[in-house]
């Protein structure tokens, strides 16, 4: 009975992370994307904390804490400030229409289930379903990176992809801390790098829209440094 | 202190000190000294091999790559000293960027060596990711519009690659955990390798697909190779040499480690066909792309994709002969390609341009540099008597022995690349002199040193070395 409850709560939490992945896909404004991302990170933190409790693995609380502080609070707030300062809080340009991306997202969830279920038959049901959900979050993150032109939304797509990875890692019984720490660490480092990029891009183009970067492709560059 | 700790600590400390050191001449010298010290200690690993621990281990396979990596990092750092002096004189790099450059150089060496000696697949992943982030910063060093775009593209594709690789790593743990038990032991490569026979084959298969695509992105395999030419063309040339010569090898090393885990499981898929198709695709695509390149660094970056394709193909064929050829090609390509990038660095500094249109008749204006470049291109094209002829010949032979039709696309790809190389070689080295005839101030020793090794390897490979390569090839399995 108690096991059933553990199972249901873990399920609910990981599915809600997936739901916010879809929420990320249908946002049409940058601020909306950041809010959806913050909520997704909150759900990841909750999922990690629940796994820490039910697996009796206290180190997972650290993962939950990192997700909560860094991804649900620090990163979205910092990104919002950057956006305000640069004055680019406007609509997002998409490569494919939002409806199309949502449909593709549903397709990716189906794909992940079809991929993971037959393979991981011997693993515990919870691990298996958790893994399928995590994979769909990873794939939707990829989809978001491909279909959004704006640098900030690409970054958010990448971080939501990392959320999927955290979810996968905490769902597997006894995964050592090293890996989770490294995930959190990588988000931090990635963010610093991203920040540097933003400022440099701002310096040069007055925009974060990657479309402007694409004028240069392959050999067309004019002024090459040796 | 164990040699493993030493080769990791020296570059790491070096990175810290160089970040604080404001004098670029001293910094370049220190950078080169640290790299040289790392190389000599890496050689000690051949004789005094430490016992495997939970995090680090050294075996026949990685010790060879550690030696190769530290050697090329060492010669490239001496090349870099001359290169940087020129960049400072022409005002392309100043103060903070330079400090950053030297520090990142050491840090990159650290991450590559860490990835090679890591016994823990999680740690290996962290190292590869850190290497990616470091090189992203390096590529954007000049802060031109092009370099930022190149770095951005590299960053996005590289991150996607490492994210997929992490998913694969988690899946490997999932497969290992029921057999080995919870915790850190189930991520140790030595345990995984020893006990992979009882893992769940389905999970291993799924994991390998993610790992191949993920780390394959870092190897520069098609279709996720788009970052590689830009990153090579826009970053500082010593970094192009290190990227092509070393980082691609490190990523391939990761793939091969996982291939070995799969090989130990009777139920798992044979990675061969997957690697064969990715290798062939990269080889053919890069071969064709060589024709329309107008930028010399971009040109040789495509050639690196081509060669990584050949190497992946060789390991995909599998078996003692093909593995032997693959290992040999990995080492020789690394040495030759970095020598070529050294030459290209000198050329582009002399001419003030990377465009083929601005470079010509080098053998008449700069005989030493020009003929060195000719030797490098002849080697990379796979002409005898240089070493790459032998390894390419072995790959073709092994493919023939396995499946005659397999050799057809391989030979076609080699021929396509060969023609493109010779066409450009003629234009750059012979033909009408074009561009500045300024003298080369930097030393040509690193380039000639690499070329000499490649020549010797082609003419005479010492018997102990052959035996060594054969034992590693056996380790890699079919």
Is A224 a domain residue?
no
Give how far A222 is from chain B: nearest CA, Å. Answer: 9
Cα B300 to Cα B285: distance, rounded to the nearest angstrom: 14
Q: Write out chain B residues lying below 8 Å of A196, CB-based.
A: 137, 140
Q: Which of B145, B229, B354 minimises the CB distance to A216?
A: B145
Cα B228 to Cα B465: distance, rounded to the nearest angstrom: 32
Q: Which of A123, A210, A219 minimises the CB distance to B293?
A: A219
Average pLDDT over residues A175-201: 57
Residue B328 has pLDDT above 80, yes or no: yes
Which tokens in the block code for residue B430? 């012979």
Interchain contact, B146 vs A216, CB within 8 Å: yes
Is A225 a domain residue?
no
Half-sphere exposure of B126 (CA within 13 A, CB side): 22
Give how far B352 is from chain A: nearest CA, Å. Answer: 6
Interchain contact, B149 vs A213, CB within 8 Å: yes
A66-123 residue pLDDT tens: 888 878 888 888 778 777 776 666 666 666 778 888 999 999 999 998 988 887 666 6
B41-81 residue pLDDT tens: 999 888 888 888 888 999 888 899 999 999 999 999 999 99
User: Are the C-beta atoms of A14 and A30 separated by less than 8 Å?
Assistant: no
B412-422 residue pLDDT tens: 999 999 999 99
Which tokens in the block code for residue A2? 């108690």
Give how far A205 is from chain B: nearest CA, Å. Answer: 9
- Residue B355 pairs in a beta bridge with B295
Average pLDDT over residues B233-260: 93
Please state, rounded to an integer, the average pLDDT across all residues of chain A.
76
Cα A105 to Cα A38: distance, rounded to the nearest angstrom: 20
Which of A17-26, A46-55, A176-185, B26-35 has the lowest average pLDDT? Answer: A176-185
Which of A41-55, A67-81, A115-129, B344-358 has the lowest average pLDDT? Answer: A115-129
User: Are the C-beta atoms of B204 and B38 separated by less than 8 Å?
Assistant: no
User: What end-to-end distance do the CA atoms of chain B give, in Å?
Assistant: 37
Which residues does B2 contact at the CB level (< 8 Å), separation at least 6?
Answer: B50
pLDDT the model gives residue B255: 95
Burial string for B292-301 (b: 16+ CB within 10 Å, else e) reads ebebbbbbbb
The angle subtended at Cα A124 by Cα A121 and Cα A126, nearest 5°, is: 110
Q: Write out chain B residues lying below 8 Å of A199, CB-based.
A: none
Q: Write out chain A residues lying below 8 Å of B229, CB-based.
A: 218
B210-231 residue pLDDT tens: 999 999 999 999 888 889 999 9
Token pair 């939501």 is found at A160
- Residue B261 pairs in a beta bridge with none
pLDDT the model gives residue B172: 92
Q: Which of A135, A162, A204 minimises the CB distance to B148?
A: A204
Cα B65 to Cα B47: distance, rounded to the nearest angstrom: 15
Give how far A5 is from chain B: nearest CA, Å. Answer: 23
- Residue B120 pairs in a beta bridge with B188
Q: How many structural domains are present in chain A?
A: 1
Domain that holds residue A65: 2-207
Orientation angle between helical segments B145-180 and B227-234, nearest 10 degrees: 130
The torsion angles phi and psi of B295, rounded to 5 degrees, stand at -110, 130
Domain extents for chain B?
Answer: 270-478
Q: How far is CA B417 from CA B290, B300, B420, in A?
A: 7, 11, 5
DSSP state for residue A219 in the 8-state scheme = G
Which band of pLDDT confidence, cut at 50, 70 and 90, is reported for residue B250? very high
């Amino acid at each position: 009975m108690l096991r059933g409850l553990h199972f249901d709560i873990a399920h609910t939490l990981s599915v809600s992370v997936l739901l916010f992945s879809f929420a990320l896909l249908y946002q049409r404004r940058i601020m909306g994307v950041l809010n959806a991302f913050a909520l997704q990170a909150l759900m990841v933190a909750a999922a990690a904390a629940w796994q820490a409790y039910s697996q009796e693995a206290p180190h997972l609380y650290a993962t939950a804490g990192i997700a909560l502080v860094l991804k649900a609070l620090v990163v979205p707030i910092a990104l919002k400030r950057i956006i305000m300062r640069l004055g680019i809080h406007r609509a997002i340009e998409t490569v494919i229409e939002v409806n199309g991306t949502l449909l593709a997202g549903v397709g990716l969830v189906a794909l992940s289930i079809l991929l993971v279920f037959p393979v991981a038959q011997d693993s515990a049901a919870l691990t298996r379903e958790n893994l399928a959900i995590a994979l769909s979050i990873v794939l939707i993150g990829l989809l978001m990176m491909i279909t959004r032109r704006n640098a900030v939304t690409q970054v958010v797509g990448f971080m939501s992809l990392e959320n999927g990875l955290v979810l996968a890692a905490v769902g597997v019984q006894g995964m050592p801390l090293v890996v989770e720490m490294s995930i959190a660490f990588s988000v931090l480092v990635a963010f610093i790098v991203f920040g540097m990029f933003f400022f440099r891009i701002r310096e040069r183009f007055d925009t974060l829209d990657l479309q402007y970067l694409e004028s240069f492709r392959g050999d067309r560059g004019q002024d090459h440094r040796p | 202190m164990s040699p493993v700790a030493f080769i990791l600590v020296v570059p790491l400390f070096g990175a810290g000190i160089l970040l604080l050191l404001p004098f670029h001449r001293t910094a370049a010298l220190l950078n080169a000294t640290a790299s040289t010290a790392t190389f000599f200690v890496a050689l000690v690993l051949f004789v005094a091999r430490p016992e495997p621990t939970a995090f680090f281990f050294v075996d026949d396979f990685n010790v060879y790559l550690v030696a190769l990596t530290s050697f090329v990092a060492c010669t490239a750092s001496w090349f870099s000293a001359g290169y940087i002096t020129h960049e400072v004189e022409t005002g392309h790099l100043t103060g903070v960027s330079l400090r950053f450059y030297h520090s990142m150089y050491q840090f990159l060496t650290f991450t590559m060596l860490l990835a090679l000696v890591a016994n823990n697949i999680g740690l290996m992943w962290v190292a590869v990711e850190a290497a990616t982030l470091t090189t992203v910063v390096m590529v954007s060093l000049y802060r031109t519009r092009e370099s930022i775009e190149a770095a951005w593209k590299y960053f996005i594709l590289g991150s996607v690659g490492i994210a997929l690789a992490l998913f694969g790593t988690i899946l490997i743990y999932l497969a290992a955990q029921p057999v080995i038990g919870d915790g850190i032991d189930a991520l140790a490569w030595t345990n995984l390798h020893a006990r992979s026979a009882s893992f769940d084959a389905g999970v291993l298969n799924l994991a390998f697909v993610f790992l191949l695509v993920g780390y394959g992105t870092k190897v520069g395999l098609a279709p996720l190779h788009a970052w590689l030419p830009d990153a090579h063309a826009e970053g500082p040339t010593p970094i192009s040499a290190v990227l092509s010569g070393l980082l691609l090898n490190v990523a391939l090393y990761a793939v091969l480690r996982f291939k070995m885990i799969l090989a130990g499981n009777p139920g798992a898929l044979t990675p061969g066909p997957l690697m064969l198709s990715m290798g062939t695709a990269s080889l053919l695509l890069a071969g064709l792309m060589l024709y329309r390149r107008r930028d010399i660094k971009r040109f040789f970056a495509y050639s690196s994709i081509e060669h990584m394709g050949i190497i992946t193909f060789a390991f995909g064929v599998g078996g003692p002969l093909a593995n032997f050829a693959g290992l040999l090609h990995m080492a020789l390509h690394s040495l030759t390609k970095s020598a070529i990038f050294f030459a290209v660095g000198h050329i582009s500094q002399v001419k003030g341009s990377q465009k083929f249109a601005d470079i010509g008749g080098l053998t008449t204006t700069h005989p030493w540099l020009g003929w060195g470049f000719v030797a490098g291109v002849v080697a990379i094209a796979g002409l005898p008597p240089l070493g790459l002829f032998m390894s390419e010949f072995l790959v073709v032979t092994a493919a023939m022995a396995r499946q005659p039709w397999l050799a057809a696309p391989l030979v076609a790809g080699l021929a396509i690349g060969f023609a493109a190389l010779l066409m450009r070689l003629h234009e750059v080295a012979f033909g009408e002199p074009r561009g500045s005839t300024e003298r080369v101030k930097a030393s040509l020793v690193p380039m000639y040193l690499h070329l000499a090794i490649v020549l010797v390897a082609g003419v005479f490979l010492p018997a102990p070395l052959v035996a060594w390569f054969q034992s590693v090839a056996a380790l890699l399995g079919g």
